Structure 1
């Protein structure tokens, strides 16, 4: 039956969707030059522009580029605090996650960059705590058969990696750059 003739009972089937072309990777969340040309920066959440703007000068490039920018100086300070605070709270046992959690609660709703970095730091600290509990338990169990003694250097290397990654993340956040920790379980989405 030909549906293109007048008086036919059904419309023609829709054409197939156009093929999607990959222009490049989707840029990470961050502040980019505002597409409306206002001279400020606007927050890109990874899929769309949001209403959050920053009065500072925008960074070169845009969502098509890979350069990220953080928020104002105050936002960068809070984001860096989210990353460095576990070094302080870590002295009180397994409480390294408290610092990023406090930053997220205090400033997470007012600045998307702070929210993103505090969430990333919180996820990393929770992941590190989980790895420490599992690795420490396995080491303690296996120490009775002397194999666990071989795992002690692995725990020490993990502690050094934790410290180095925390310092790198703090430095990047203080410059307004987003940072993603490796081997992190994303418990929370930011």
Structure 2
């Protein structure tokens, strides 16, 4: 057995400000893509992946990813409630309203992220801090 010293752990390289803004925008856009591709059920997946991969490299990206995740989880809960209200014939209106809210606020958040600004979604429960 050789007594080699353990390899030094190299801290992750921080993102440049331009890359931070790009990844923050992609966090919000990936949620929109997840909504469209997953019929409203996987909007949380893109922001979760970005959070897990880049949280140590950029606090700005991590904050946007957490905010997006909280909003997507909140809207998913609202969509589940709307699904059950389909049986009393008002669920389709609530479902349509949820999609409009998600699209509008996600675009607003992506624009804010592109400017390098912090954005907090309205109507969002903070599950992840």
- Which of the pair has the greater relative contact order for Cα pairs under 8 Å at 6+ separation? 2
Match of 1:176 in 2: 116
Q: CA RMSD in A?
A: 1.6
The structural deviation recorded for 1:165 is: 0.4
CA distance in 2, matches of 1:127, 1:119: 12
Unpaired runs of 5+ in structure 1? 1-53, 55-70
CA distance in 2, matches of 1:150, 1:186: 27
User: Does 1:107 find its partner at 2:54?
Assistant: yes
Higher helix share: 2
TM-score under structure 2 length normalisation:
0.81
TM-score under structure 1 length normalisation:
0.56
User: Does 1:125 find its partner at 2:72?
Assistant: yes
Match of 2:127 in 1: 187
CA distance in 2, matches of 1:183, 1:100: 18
Aligned pair count reads 113
Which ranges of 4 or more aligned residues in structure 1 deviate by more than 4 Å? none
Higher strand share: 1
Larger radius of gyration: 1
Match of 2:10 in 1: none
Report the CA distance shift for 1:176/1:165 in structure 2 as closer, same or farther (over 3 A).
same
CA distance in 1, matches of 2:119, 2:65: 10
Report if aligned partners of 2:78, 2:98 keep a CA contact under 8 Å in 1.
no
Equivalence map 1:13-52=2 (5 Å): none
Unpaired runs of 5+ in structure 2? 1-13
Report if aligned partners of 2:30, 2:47 keep a CA contact under 8 Å in 1.
yes
User: Does 1:73 find its partner at 2:18?
Assistant: yes
